[in-house]
């Protein structure tokens, strides 16, 4: 076999091998593509893609048309005062209330201590003592009745009783019990709705104590709560106690219970 014949045979065999390899790899790629599943399309109404907000029911948002001192009174920026431990008396509370009167003079046959119990309503109208409260906000932002239904109104009321001028009275313990109802939903103690509403105790234009009405986790409209606040005897100077409830919350009822003694001064003419 000549040199030219050998070269021609090698070239022919090389072309055959290349053709076989091309057919083999081409067929494998075709089978691989045929076995790959097609990407499924998400049907309409399927789950919301990650990163997009979930749909929710529309929430009623209160129109912020109240002055700043209605939604954010200045005293809310102050730390809560610590209430001291009040001295307990041997008579249980329920017995004290059954024996209570409308002033600490009470029944002359009963020795000290004596208990007063003041409730509101009745009457349905609140009776605030003006000098105890700040001059702002104006009258249009004050709710004149218990169990009111209008938002953006403070409820102010003062419990008063007789005896301070004629007698020397000392209160040993007292409590304020208030039942309140949220008029709107509330998101948190920082939201401009019922969530940031508070109850506060006032004397001569200054706040003595305050606390939020509702938990920081929020509240639903129509929720009712009852709060019992221990009262320091000094807060009852002048035989009165004034409290205020803010401003998307109604006050259904309130009562003041105070236990102490009144002595007539031994003054000779």
Q: Is the peptide bond before 123 cis (omega within 30 degrees of 0)?
A: yes
pTM for the whole thing? 0.68
pLDDT digits (tens, 9 = 90+) for 94-123: 666 777 777 777 666 677 888 889 999 999
Return d(Cα 96, Cα 101) in angstroms, integer.
Answer: 10
Return d(Cα 205, Cα 228) in angstroms, integer.
Answer: 23
Q: Locate the domains of the chain by residue range.
A: 91-263
CATH of domain 91-263: 2.60.120
Return d(Cα 156, Cα 1) in angstroms, integer.
Answer: 124
Which of the given ranges, 23-27, 41-45, 256-260, has the highest pLDDT on average? 256-260
pLDDT digits (tens, 9 = 90+) for 43-68: 555 554 544 454 444 445 445 577 77
């Amino acid at each position: 076999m000549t040199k030219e014949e050998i070269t021609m045979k090698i070239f022919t065999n090389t072309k055959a091998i290349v053709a076989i390899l091309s057919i083999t790899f081409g067929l494998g790629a075709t089978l691989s593509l045929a076995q790959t599943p097609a990407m499924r399309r998400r049907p309409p109404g399927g789950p919301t893609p990650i990163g997009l907000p979930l749909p929710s029911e529309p929430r009623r948002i209160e129109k912020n048309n109240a002055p700043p001192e209605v939604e954010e009174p200045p005293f809310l920026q102050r730390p809560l005062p610590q209430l001291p431990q009040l001295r307990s008396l041997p008579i249980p509370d329920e017995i004290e209330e059954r024996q209570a009167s409308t002033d600490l003079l009470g029944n002359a046959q009963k020795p000290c201590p004596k208990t007063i119990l003041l409730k509101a309503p009745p009457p349905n109208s609140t009776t605030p003592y003006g000098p105890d409260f700040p001059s702002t906000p104006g009258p249009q932002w004050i709710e004149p009745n218990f169990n009111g239904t209008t938002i953006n109104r403070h409820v102010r009321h003062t419990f008063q009783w007789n005896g301070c001028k004629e007698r020397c009275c000392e209160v040993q313990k007292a409590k304020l019990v208030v039942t309140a109802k949220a008029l709107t939903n509330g998101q948190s103690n920082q939201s401009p709705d019922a969530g940031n509403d508070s109850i506060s105790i006032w004397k001569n234009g200054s706040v003595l104590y305050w606390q939020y009405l509702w938990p920081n986790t929020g509240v639903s409209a129509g929720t009712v709560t009852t709060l019992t606040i221990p009262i320091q005897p000094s807060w009852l100077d002048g035989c009165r106690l004034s409290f205020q409830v803010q401003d998307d919350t109604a006050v259904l009822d309130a009562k003041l219970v105070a236990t102490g003694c009144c002595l007539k001064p031994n003054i000779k003419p």
